[in-house]
Amino acid sequence: MRSIRFASIVRRFKTQHFGKKCIVNPSYNANKQVAHVNVGTRRGIVIFSLLFAGEAVFTLPFHIARYFRPTFVEVLDISQTQLGELFATYGIVAMLSYLLGGGLADRFSARKLLVFSLVATASAGFFLATIPPLGELRWLYAFWGASTILPFWSALLRTTREWGGADQQGKAFGILEGGRGIIAAILASLALWLMSTQLPLADSESQATMLQRTVALRSTILFYTGTTLLAAIFVWFFLPESQRPVATTRTTYFSVRFSNLEQVIRMRAVWLHGAVIMAAYSAYKGFGFFSQFAYHVWGWSEIHSAQLSTTTAWIRPVAAISAGLLADRWRSSRVIMVAFLLTGAGFSVLPWISPGDAKAWLLWMNISIVCVGIFALRGIYFALLEEEQIPRSITGTAIGVVSFVGFIPEIVIHYLGGRLIDHWAGELTGYLVFFTLLGCGCLIGLAAAYPISAADHKQST
């Protein structure tokens, strides 16, 4: 009886794995593979939604002025200095939002925070499309300083740090910046095409009327507004609810929040990290002046100068992802120091290239080199959190403090650059002084990154 039962078990095993009935197993395995593919697809959509949102939220405050600066200031009838004042207003509100946003990221659902930020920011885009006067623009940029940072920034970066784990921080932040860069380049290229359809051909663009420029700018604003709303839809439908621990009472929440803040402020590495980001972000803000530089100094048309910025924007994903991969192999601080050297050298040489059609390739090459440096820096400067051994429990607070210090150029750089350009209107001198200052800032960033690298080297040995 036992032998018959044993033989039956053996037959069943052979039939399932080697016999005719084994056709059931391929179906089962195929289902598992399909499920695995579906999980991978869903994960990819989630990551895309985060990357899309991470760039879309900043398109209205920054993309239009960055890529289409000459048209932007002419249609809004503002000077370079006044544009700088608008960004300074944005920066002041953003500074406060960085500090407060860290606590929100540790307490509330990332999905709800991101959607709220995107919808609020997009709603203000419709107001910008009315071409408001300067006084109302100041209130608009103050609103954006809160809507794009307070509910958004720390939540995005905390999620990114959790992606990377302990060993792939460079890769995680590189993918974040690189993915955002791809989206930015695609959107900028589409916006450039849209604007070019509203303006005369480049060789006759000086004949464009103010009405044509206004229609072109308004179309671009509405394009970016729709893009921001689309990002909110992606986040709402595809980003799952996060399960973050929430303080049980308001008193407990604020006591923990201030305890974390006190702990972070006492860390020397946090202040060095803030100085690194301050120098890198100053250099990045210089990118927004390249189209105006080509327009004023080199005499390029509005469309051609916009092409300079939109084309070099494609360097961003390549530089950021490459820097992230190198950072995981050679440490983030080392790659950051090399990027500072590259960026500083590029800014120092840029204003000394004599304008002329025969030397246009030199301008393209030099700006491309600068872009490699600044986008590499942006790709990995938050990866220093792991190298500095910041506890994960205070990530949101640390990001808030580092961002508060590091993004001070948000207030200063656009205003400084605008003042210098207006003081030497249409001349090279203003750009010479401005780009030289940015180059010197890179040396400060290099000096701040070195102690972080040295400390991490001692700990690893």
Query: If we measure between CA atoms, which residue out of 315, 444, 299, 429 comes closest to residue 378?
Result: 315
Is 396 within a domain? yes
pLDDT band (50, 70, 90) for residue 124: very high
Instruction: Give per-residue pLDDT as tens, 347-363.
Output: 999 999 988 877 899 99
Is 378 within a domain? yes
Q: How many structural domains does the chain have?
A: 1
So what's the pLDDT on residue 20?
44
Calpha distance 126→445 (Å, rounded): 38
Question: What percent of the chain has pLDDT above 90?
Answer: 54
Is 0.85 surpassed by the pTM of this model?
no
Of these ranges, 121-135, 200-214, 380-394, the one predicted with the greatest mean pLDDT is 121-135
Is 89 within a domain? yes
So what's the pLDDT on residue 386?
78
Q: Which structural domain, as residue segments, surrounds residue 307?
A: 42-239+247-460
Q: What would the two tokens of residue 400 be? A: 């808030």
Calpha distance 269→405 (Å, rounded): 12
Tell me if 313 sits within 8 A of 394, measured CB to CB: no
Residue 418 belongs to a domain with what CATH number? 1.20.1250.20
pLDDT band (50, 70, 90) for residue 32: very low
Is 300 within a domain? yes
Sign of CA dihedral 373, 305, 425, 365: positive
Name the residue with higher pLDDT: 60 or 203.
60
Is 36 within a domain? no
Name the residue with higher pLDDT: 460 or 14.
460
**In which element (H, E) is residue 335 found?**
helix 332-349
- The alpha helices in 18-133, defined as continuous H runs, are 24-56, 64-67, 69-76, 80-107, 110-128
Query: If we measure between CA atoms, which residue out of 72, 198, 191, 232 comes closest to residue 137?
Result: 72
Place of tokens 């750089």: 413
User: End-to-end alpha-carbon separation of the chain, Å?
Assistant: 68
Is 75 within a domain? yes
For the chain, the average pLDDT equals: 84
So what's the pLDDT on residue 99?
78
Q: Which residues are CB-neighbours of 307 under 8 A, at least 6 positions away? A: 192
So what's the pLDDT on residue 278?
97
For 136-151, give the DSSP string: HHHHHHHHHHHHTTTT
So what's the pLDDT on residue 71?
92
pLDDT band (50, 70, 90) for residue 42: confident
Tell me if 150 sits within 8 A of 403, measured CB to CB: no
pLDDT band (50, 70, 90) for residue 168: low
Tell me if 200 sits within 8 A of 208, measured CB to CB: yes
Instruction: Give per-residue pLDDT as tens, 72-101.
Output: 999 999 999 999 999 999 999 998 898 787
Query: If we measure between CA atoms, which residue out of 170, 174, 405, 372 comes closest to residue 272?
Result: 405
So what's the pLDDT on residue 18?
40
Calpha distance 292→46 (Å, rounded): 37
pLDDT band (50, 70, 90) for residue 230: very high
Is 65 within a domain? yes
Is 331 within a domain? yes
Calpha distance 341→351 (Å, rounded): 17
